[in-house]
Each structure stands twice: as structure tokens, then as C-alpha cells.
Chain A
Amino acid sequence: MALTIDIFLLLFLIATAIGILRTRHLFAMAMMFGLYSLLVASLFLLMDAPDVAFTEAAVGTGIATVLMLATLAATRRSSEKPRQRFSPSALIITLSTTALLFYGTLDLPNFGDPQAPLHTEMAGRFIEQGQQDTGVPNLVTAVLASYRGFDTLGEVTVVFTAGVGVLLLLKRRRKPVVRGKSHAR
């Protein structure tokens, strides 16, 4: 049953993506992106990752859609006619990137494989050696902050950059000073 639902949801995902590509109506596009994100969140849920599904639903379906719609309401509508030219180099680049990514997944263990090295070797080592290795009492914190330290550093950098960007955008500009009448406030 789970496989059937997976197949159905993936088909819906493809249909939504093609619909987003083909529409020229920005409002419809924003709504369809919300739908797409809901489908992705449902797929995450079926893959036993409720926390990721939670985040995806809250950010993708909720905030991102509302922000896109608010932007559309605040800006003026204009659009350029897209080029319909077929570009073989773009096709080649896309196909080769896809092939490379598929080639990269060949080395990975299958999804949910109990014989994966993560379950046979690493989990036990984290539990037994984690405290001596890192000196952090909490196991989750030890994995996040020490074993996966570079990954966490990258995430923190992304969040920091996004925060700085939002603050710069939202900063209220000072009123322009009229000559001779500088208000001290």
C-alpha cells in the first residue's frame, strides 16, 4: 500500500512540476508551488521523517507561499515573452548532471537497509565512544556539533546569511533630511 501511495504522490509531483513549468500566470505558479511542497512533505512523511515533513510543510506550504503571494500583490505585473529556442547544450548539461547524480547514489546503501554501515558500525561507536571522543554528555549534541561539525557549520552559515539579508531588507530607512529643517526627533 505504501508503495502505491508513493507512486501516486510521485506522479502528482511530476504533474505539478510540469504544470508550474507550462503556466505563465504567476499567481497560479505560486499556488502550485505550495501544492508541490505539500506533496514533498507527504513523501517525507511516508519515508518516516516526520520532523523534516513538519519543517517542509511549515516553510514550503505556509510561509513561502504567503510570501510569494504578498510579493506578487505588492509588485506590478509585467512579463517577458520566454525564448522558445531549444538549446542542446542545456539539455546535455542537464542530462550529464542527472547521470552523475545517479552514479553517485550507486555507492550508497539502499534506503532502510539494516546492513548499512550506519547501523552496523557507526551507531554502536557513537553510543560507546561518543562521550570519550567529544566530551559532550548529550549524544545528539555530540553527533551534531562534533561528528557532523562541518555540516552544522555550513547550516549555521546559511541561517546567519539569511538572517542578515532579512534584517537588511526590513531595516527602516531614515527619513531624508530637508535642507535647513533638520528634525532632531
Chain B
Amino acid sequence: MTIFLYVIGFSILVTMALALARALAGPTVFDRILAVNMFGTKAVLLVAVVAFISGRTDVLDIALLYSLLNFVGVAAALRLVERGSFYATERVHVKTKPGEKL
């Protein structure tokens, strides 16, 4: 049973690495939001697995908090993308002098 949990934990870590790679590389804003959301979900799962491996099941409360925060954060990010002046593709870097306004 413990070996089973170890395998699960390791595969979750690999998935986290893949999500992190997408968050770092992600060409568009939505790639990044999705990657961060997925990373948060995997963090919740990892915390749950660690809680069962170490036998401290009270830590599951923290996993619940993580999932809640993850949801709120992503919802807020998506609302702000819709309302703000962000674009789905990254804009080319605009060079400005100090003090000059765009």
C-alpha cells in the first residue's frame, strides 16, 4: 500500500514538472493560467498523498484550502483578463524612455 502511495506521489511530481514547464514556456496568457491552475490541483493531490504517507490526515484541511484558493485565484485572473487590457498573445516589447508615457 505504501509503495502504491509512493508511485502516486512520484507521478504527481512528474505531472507538476510538466505543468511548470508549460507555465514557464506558455506563449499565451491562457496557457499560463491553465498551467498554474493545473499546478495548484496537483499540489492539492500531493498534499493529500503526503498526508496519507505520513499519517497526518489533519493536513487534508490544508489541501481543501488550496483547492478553494486555486479556484478563486483562477476565477479572478480570468475576470481580470476579460476586463483589463491584457491580450491573449504577448505583445512585443515597447521601448520607452524613463518618464515617457505610452
User: Which residues of A does B touch, CB under 8 Å?
Assistant: 1-2, 4-5, 8, 12, 15-16, 19, 24-25, 27-28, 31-32, 34-35, 38-39, 41-42, 45-46, 50, 53-54, 57-58, 61-62, 65-66, 69-70, 72-74, 76-81
The total of chain B residues at the interface (CB under 8 A) is: 51
| A2–B50 CB distance below 8 A | yes
| A73–B32 CB distance below 8 A | no
Residues of A within 8 A of B61 (CB): 50
Residues of B within 8 A of A19 (CB): 23-24
A-B contact pairs, 20 of them (CB 8 A): A12-B20, A19-B23, A27-B29, A28-B29, A31-B77, A32-B23, A35-B36, A38-B39, A38-B40, A38-B43, A39-B43, A42-B46, A57-B69, A61-B73, A73-B85, A77-B91, A78-B102, A79-B96, A80-B98, A81-B93
Kindly report which residue of chain B lies nearest to residue A44, judged by CB atoms: B62
Q: Is the interface of A mostly helix, strand, loop or mixed?
A: helix
Residues of A within 8 A of B26 (CB): 28
Residues of A within 8 A of B36 (CB): 31-32, 34-35
| B85–A15 CB distance below 8 A | no
Bound-state Cα–Cα, A8 to B50, Å: 14
Bound-state Cα–Cα, A12 to B33, Å: 17
| A76–B29 CB distance below 8 A | no
Bound-state Cα–Cα, A81 to B97, Å: 8
Kindly report which residue of chain B lies nearest to residue A39, judged by CB atoms: B43
Q: Give B10 Cβ to nearest chain A Cβ, in Å.
A: 8
**Known contacts A57-B62, A69-B77, then 17 further A-B pairs from the complex at CB < 8 Å, ordered by chain A residue:** A4-B13, A5-B50, A8-B13, A16-B20, A27-B81, A27-B86, A32-B23, A35-B39, A39-B43, A41-B66, A45-B50, A45-B62, A62-B72, A78-B102, A79-B93, A80-B97, A81-B93
Residues of A within 8 A of B76 (CB): 65-66, 69-70
Kindly report which residue of chain A lies nearest to residue B33, judged by CB atoms: A31
Bound-state Cα–Cα, A97 to B18, Å: 34
Residues of A within 8 A of B39 (CB): 35, 38
| B62–A76 CB distance below 8 A | no
Residues of A within 8 A of B54 (CB): 2
Bound-state Cα–Cα, A70 to B81, Å: 10
Q: Give A126 Cβ to nearest chain B Cβ, in Å.
A: 25
